[in-house]
Amino acid sequence: MDMQSYSFNLAITLADIQAYFDLRHQIFVEEQGLFTSHSTSHLMSNEVDGLDAIAYPIVAKLQTQVVGVVRIYELQHKLWYGGRLGVHIDHRRAGKVGKGLIHQAVTTAHGWGCDRFLATVQPQNVRFFQRLHWRSLEEVHLCGLAHSLMEADLDFYPPGFSDRPHLQSLGFQPSIRQPPLKEAS
């Protein structure tokens, strides 16, 4: 499959948002075991965190199927982060989906005023990011594993032209974006 087969966009429909969280759960909870879960639902997983309340989800789709995910968020004025980059196991060949998601994430944030874009990257993916014009800044530990804090060279990622939507306009609902509260025993 060539790059033209995939589309890369903000997840704005309820179906895309659900598929975004489902794929994240599949990759980071079920496959990698980085987070815990008491069910097969992302709602019962600690993989969904407080950053999801301020993050813009981006999906890679092949026709109607979500095959890749990443989130972007602004932690400080003009300082953006990408995170939870994941690609469905059947679409990891040649890095096309990951490369497209990274490009979409950085160019979107750059178009929204980003002047610095960072990500924490798992060790097995550092060389992939370096080939995409990222540099390692330092080693950090997340979820008990070493990661590399990396920075994108914005000269290689022209600003995108999409308008920045208000998070509320994306149709997010608290029941989707946050795990349910546990009842006191």
Mean of per-residue pLDDT scores for the chain: 84
Q: Is residue 67 part of a domain?
A: yes
Q: Is residue 172 part of a domain?
A: no
Q: Is the pLDDT of residue 176 over 50?
A: no
CATH number of the CATH domain containing 47: 3.40.630.30
Q: Is residue 151 part of a domain?
A: yes
pTM for the whole structure: 0.83
Q: Is residue 164 part of a domain?
A: no
Q: Which residue has the higher pLDDT, 99 or 46?
A: 99
Q: Which residue has the higher pLDDT, 44 or 89?
A: 89
Number of domains in the chain: 1
Q: Is residue 27 part of a domain?
A: yes
At 106, the pLDDT band (50, 70, 90 cuts) reads very high
At 65, the pLDDT band (50, 70, 90 cuts) reads very high
Q: Is residue 72 part of a domain?
A: yes
Which 8-state DSSP code applies to residue 179? P
Helix (H), strand (E), coil (C) string for 55-66: CEEEEEEECCEE
Domain that holds residue 62: 3-158
At 173, the pLDDT band (50, 70, 90 cuts) reads very low
- Give the whole-angstrom CA distance, residue 124 versus residue 19: 25
Q: Which residue has the higher pLDDT, 33 or 41?
A: 33
Q: Is residue 94 part of a domain?
A: yes
At 93, the pLDDT band (50, 70, 90 cuts) reads confident
CA-CA distances (angstroms) from residue 26 to 41, 42, 89, 105, 131?
A: 9, 9, 10, 21, 27
Kindly report the backbone phi and psi dihedral angles of residue 139, in degrees, each rounded to the nearest multiple of 5, phi listed first: -90, 135
Q: Is residue 169 part of a domain?
A: no
- Give the whole-angstrom CA distance, residue 158 versus residue 148: 24
